[in-house]
Amino acid sequence: MINCMRAFFLFIVFGNLLNAAAQIPFTKDAGTYRITYTSSSNGKSLSDQNRVLMFTNAHHTLVTNERDFRGDGNFPAELFIIERSSLYQQLYSFLNDSTCISTTDSSAIKNQKFEFLDESKTILGYTCKKAKTIVNSNTIELWYTKALPVKGAPGILGQDIGLVLEMVRNGNFTMTADEVKKITFTPPAYFTKARPEFMDLLSYRDKIWQSRFITVPLFKDQVINFADTATVKPGVMRFANGTVVVKRVKFPEFGSSKNIFLELKEQSNGDAYDRTGTVFLIPVDKKQSFLDGLKNGAATLPVYENGNGKTYQGVIATSDYDPAIELMRFFTPFGIKGYNHIQLKGKEWHEVVPYRQDISKFASLLNGKEVYIGVFIGNYDKGGHRINAEITIHKDAGVSPEKVVPLFNTLNIMEMAAQEYATMFNSDKGLIVNFELKEPVKNAVLRYTTTGHGGWGNGDEFVPKENTVLLDGTVVLKIVPWREDCGSYRLYNPASGNFSTGLSSSDLSRSNWCPGTVTNPYIISLGNLPAGKHTIQVKIPQGKPEGTSFSAWNVSGVLVGD
């Protein structure tokens, strides 16, 4: 059906439709030429060539490629037709085997400007002249001939200067004609009926863009707030007085060669403060899960103790429990959208803060699976925050499935339901996790995310502290996590306090986070790990409390490897 539909559509738009529009039969008498183009980079022909294919005569030009013309290319498959008398461009795209969209563009060709140079060379026996233009800082050189009674080009550039037989971009990418042949245009024999949906140019481009990847929606217009009761959206579970939302999400089968991105957008729905946020996945393949703790209370989770007199619920992996896997840590800014009415001269506040992170390393947990994904934003505000979140899956060679072993996550996701703050680093032991690998892990890395908290002058939020990570007693990371670029995000922070020094709170440097940003994990190479028992230890010189103020460190770690 794919082949038939594309072929028939080509027949319609390049035969019947053109005849109806121009009242000229598209036949041998019209003087049709077929030109094919081969691409190369830095003088080397590209492998697996899909040559550009152009049909042109005195009245119309069609540009596509060999696979799409035959009907065996990948989606989306696009072609465009130039109506030569008015230089009017019609675009068509097959998004799948049953959907075709179309649009028009009257300016793309007419607005082109070229510098015509006094240089010439011969291509396929035709004398060609050189034209040059700059597009988006790219230098494009076109070699065109006027020795034939037709015009055209392998792309939209140069459609009206002659017959372009070679295009060179930035001196290293070249598209050269390898055949010019006069023919009678004949569409493929197999075809069926196509009904293109017409839309404006911007919608058309967006539709094509969206068709290039799979979108898995997570949360739509979801409020995360502190309230005993609230309107619950279908499929969404609320925990910890509404500061945690969880949803069971089904992912399609997508194979091994993919790039996966998580995107979340946040606005204040009443809360004016910068808050810790996290997007997490809940493993449920052991006897107990973090979901059990959400449902039954933090006290039901396995506890960690290091001798400092406190118990920490659900923060480390055991033989019967895995902690929540952190996909993204983010921090809300001060009151974006909800407090944009605060006016400062020269400040135009942004309406929404976007967070986007590559989570491709977690592909094996998502591929064809049904999983629990949650979002936490710590706050005590009835209005809270409003979020939208989705995951997009993109084609890409080179991303292979990897083993994922959750180890620890001290971020107290159930902060508003009595889960203890991560103050275990006031002990020399810090955090110790014993784990066992049932089989060797090659090329192992630890994805280590860390942020310091304690929001007063001497608190660890504002005091640099060295993090030390040890594997089996050997130091694998020693670093001071610190962000000095927080002032770059001032326009996300309308409610940020302004000080007598001329600074705003959102300007201040912090322990690896800024209001309105994602905190990236440190990627710690561990080499090849043998099967058997291992130990991970995290040590941080946590600051001492002052009155009722105290410091804490939210650290999470996931082992990933082949």
- Residue-wise pLDDT tens digits, 33-83: 999 999 999 989 888 889 999 999 988 899 988 888 777 766 677 888 898
User: Each residue of 359-377: pLDDT tens digit?
Assistant: 999 999 999 999 999 999 9
d(CA 305, CA 423): 11
Instruction: pLDDT band for 30, please (50, 70, 90 cuts).
Output: low
Whether the predicted pLDDT of 2 surpasses 50: no
Q: How confident is the model at residue 221 (pLDDT cuts 50, 70, 90)?
A: very high
- Residue 85 is predicted with a pLDDT of 85
Say whether pLDDT at 28 is over 50.
Answer: no
Contacts for 48 with CB less than 8 Å, ≥ 6 apart: none
Q: Cα separation of 104 and 90, whole Å?
A: 4
Tell me how long the chain is. 562
Question: Would you place residue 401 in the very low, low, confident or very high pLDDT band (cuts 50, 70, 90)?
Answer: low
In contact, 124 and 177? CB cutoff 8 Å = yes
Q: What pLDDT score was predicted for residue 95?
A: 82
Region 512-537 average pLDDT: 98
Rounded CA separation 161/167 (Å): 13
Digit-coded pLDDT (tens) for 456-468: 999 999 999 999 9
**pLDDT at position 67:** 84
Q: How do residues 321-360 score in pLDDT, each as one tens digit?
A: 999 999 999 999 999 999 999 999 999 999 999 999 999 9
DSSP states of 241-292 as a string?
GGTEEEEEEE-----SSEEEEEEEEEEESS--S--EEEEEEE--SSSB-HHH
**Does pLDDT of 406 surpass 50?**
yes
- pLDDT tens digits for range 242-260: 999 999 999 999 887 679 9
C-alpha span between 197 and 107 (Å, rounded): 21
- Collapsing DSSP to helix, strand or coil, 533 comes out as strand
- Indicate the pLDDT class of residue 97, thresholds 50, 70 and 90: low
* Predicted pLDDT of residue 194: 60
Closest-CA residue to 408 (of 321, 310, 278)? 321
State the pLDDT at residue 187: 62
pLDDT of residue 58: 87
| Helix (H), strand (E) at residue 69 | helix 66-70
pLDDT at 488: 98
More confident residue, 557 or 106: 557
Question: How much is the pLDDT for 19?
Answer: 36
Q: How confident is the model at residue 17 (pLDDT cuts 50, 70, 90)?
A: very low
pLDDT value for 399 = 57
Asked if the model's pLDDT at residue 190 lies above 70, the reply is no
The token duo for 499 is 């000080």
Looking at per-residue confidence, does 395 or 12 come out higher? 395
% of residues, the chain, pLDDT over 70: 91
pLDDT at 469: 98
Q: Which of the pair, 25 or 206, is modelled with greater confidence?
A: 206
pLDDT-based confidence at 397, cuts 50/70/90?
low
This prediction has a pTM of 0.89
Residue 23, pLDDT > 60, answer no
> What's the whole-number average pLDDT of the chain?
90
Quickly state the pLDDT bin for 398 (edges 50, 70, 90). low
Task: Give residue-wise pLDDT tens across range 131-148.
Answer: 999 999 999 999 999 999
Residue 230: is its pLDDT beyond 90?
no
Query: How much of the chain, in percent, has pLDDT values that exceed 90?
Result: 78
Residue 426 zone, left/alpha/beta (φ > 0; ψ -120 to 50; rest)? alpha
| 485-515 core/surface letters (b: 16 or more CB in 10 A; e: else) | ebeebbebbbbbeeeeeeebbbbbebbbbbb
Q: Report which of 312, 330, 353 is spatially closest to residue 490, judged by C-alpha positions.
A: 353
Position 16 scores a pLDDT of 39
Cβ proximity of 449 and 546 under 8 Å: no
Q: Is the pLDDT assigned to residue 6 strictly greater than 90?
A: no
Mode of pairing for the β-strands spanning 532-539 and 467-471: antiparallel
